[in-house]
Amino acid sequence: MMFKLKKKSSAKKRFKLNSNGLIKRKHAFKNHLLTKKSTKRKRNLVHFTTLDKANKKNIKRQLLI
């Protein structure tokens, strides 16, 4: 019998699959030291974005997609 494959816990918390098959991720630089960043910059970091082509294969392997 084969053992059950598990997803990487860290990847599972950070990435979600889109309805289009794209992988969503959050922006970086939004955790601390926010007082020196402008309001506009912080607001633009709130939204989700899609994963770039270079990292897609690696993250798909971690998520067992």
Closest among 57, 63, 60 to 12, alpha carbons compared: 63
Element (H, E) at 24: strand 23-25
Tell me the pLDDT tens digit for each residue of 24-39: 999 999 999 999 999 9
* pLDDT band per the 50, 70, 90 thresholds, residue 2: confident
Examine the pLDDT at 57 and tell me if it is beyond 90.
Answer: yes
Mean pLDDT in the chain? 93
Task: State pTM to two decimals.
Answer: 0.77
**Which among 5, 26, 22 has a CA at the least distance from the CA of 14?**
26
Q: Sorting pLDDT into bands at 50, 70 and 90, what band is 1? A: confident
What the chain holds in terms of domains, given with CATH numbers, is: 9-63 (4.10.410.60)
Number of neighbours of residue 23 by Cβ within 10 angstroms: 20
